[in-house]
């Protein structure tokens, strides 16, 4: 069964809007696990507009499933990850002011940099996933730089899903088959939701984990957090 990791960035964004501790990020993260989530994901950004760097040590202590920290591997981010030793680090190529992730790594162009960074994390016993587009050369590049897994940037799939879902999922399926052949694990995330998740899962062999935040938190406004997590888990069965 594909694991569901809940990205709690939007919970932190709501908290930060008023400067207090409502909603309580740490309690919500614990609740997510109690309701069935199999991981917690955070993506601290340089401007700390949602997850703060200071949130990470407490989450490391609280999370009992799988803790995944994702972000651009700046010196500060690398230090944060090594100090808190999560189960997984997911590397994304975001620019400092970027609203949300919108592309994956060029694993060929940035091979030397990625090899160096990945080596640091793997030496510390941290599993490394890197954010990639559904392009075969970048899958092969991810393997060469030493990544344990890739995380598909699924924005293009979600965008095309409503008009031609078969065409939308085709490049991801092709790359997933290649990933299995070369021995690299498969994660996915971005714009996956209750409408498109089951179809994506059914067409991606070897899908180990999905990280979902924005859509899941939005759905929780209608259905409640516990119900929503169970609804997402059912899509992955």
Which residues are identified as catalytic? 43, 70, 190
Cite the DSSP H helix spans in 145-196: 155-161, 165-182
SS3 153: strand
Phi, psi of 94 (to 5 degrees): -65, 145
How many other C-beta atoms can be found within 10 angstroms of the C-beta atom of residue 87?
A: 17
DSSP secondary structure code for residue 206 in this structure? T
- Rounded CA gap, 68 and 126, in Å? 10
Evaluate whether 44 touches 25 at the Cβ level (below 8 Å). no
- E strand or H helix that includes residue 227: helix 225-235
Comparing CA positions, the residue from 61, 58, 50, 59 lying closest to residue 71 is 50
Evaluate whether 16 touches 23 at the Cβ level (below 8 Å). no
């Amino acid at each position: 069964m594909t694991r569901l990791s809940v990205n709690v960035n939007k919970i932190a964004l709501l908290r930060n809007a008023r400067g207090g501790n409502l909603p309580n990020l740490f309690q919500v993260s614990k609740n997510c696990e109690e309701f069935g989530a199999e991981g917690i994901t955070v993506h601290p950004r340089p401007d700390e507009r949602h997850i703060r760097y200071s949130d990470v040590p407490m989450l490391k202590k609280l999370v009992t499933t799988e803790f995944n920290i994702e972000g651009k591997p700046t010196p500060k981010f690398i230090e944060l990850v090594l100090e808190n030793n999560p189960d997984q680090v997911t590397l994304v190529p975001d620019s400092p002011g970027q609203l949300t992730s919108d592309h994956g790594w060029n694993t060929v162009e940035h091979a030397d940099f990625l090899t160096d960074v990945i080596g640091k994390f793997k030496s510390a016993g941290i599993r490394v996933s890197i954010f990639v587009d559904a392009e075969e050369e970048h899958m092969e590049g991810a393997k060469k730089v030493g990544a344990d897994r890739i995380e598909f940037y699924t924005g293009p799939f979600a965008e095309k899903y409503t008009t031609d879902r078969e065409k939308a999922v085709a490049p991801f399926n092709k790359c997933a088959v290649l990933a299995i052949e070369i021995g690299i694990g498969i994660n996915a995330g971005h714009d996956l939701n209750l409408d498109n998740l089951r179809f994506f899962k059914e067409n991606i062999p070897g899908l180990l984990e999905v990280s979902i935040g924005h859509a899941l938190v939005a759905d929780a406004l209608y259905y409640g957090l516990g119900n929503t997590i169970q609804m997402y888990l059912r899509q992955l069965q």
